[in-house]
Amino acid sequence: MKTLSQNTTSSACAPETDLQKLVATPVPDERRISFWPQHFGLIPQWVTLEPRIFGWMDRLCEDYCGGIWNLYTLNNGGHLWHPNRMTMMTKHGYCSMP
């Protein structure tokens, strides 16, 4: 489990007690297949969302050539995904490490 802090007030000088913890919980492998329809099932053509995200990553990151992505659910009802740096392959065949 990863914990991130999110400032819930608009003041840049908010006291520490006004911070709400944002908790990211990894999606287990057996639940990955239901992640996309669970979060995007009401969007027409949601099935094309994942390949579009990967396509944009390929366009924006010169060295990106695919890999496994980590999926998370957030305690505020949101979700998060990012490339797994342990498995990200580059065009040169390099597998990056964190």
Where are the domains positioned within the chain? 2-83
- The model carries a pTM of 0.60
pLDDT of residue 23: 93
Tell me how far apart the alpha carbons of residues 77 and 82 are, in angstroms, rounded to a whole number: 17
Question: Can you identify the CATH homologous superfamily of domain 2-83?
Answer: Antirestriction protein (3.30.70.3580)
Give the model confidence (pLDDT) of 13-50 as tens digits: 545 556 789 999 999 989 988 888 887 777 777 778 88
User: Which tokens in the block code for residue 22?
Assistant: 């944002």
Beta bridge partners of 26: 72
Residue 88: burial class (beta carbons within 10 Å; 0-12, 13-18, 19+): buried
Residue identified by tokens 């980590």 is 70
Q: Nearest 5 degrees, angle CA 70-CA 46-CA 40? A: 65
CA distance 18 to 44: 38
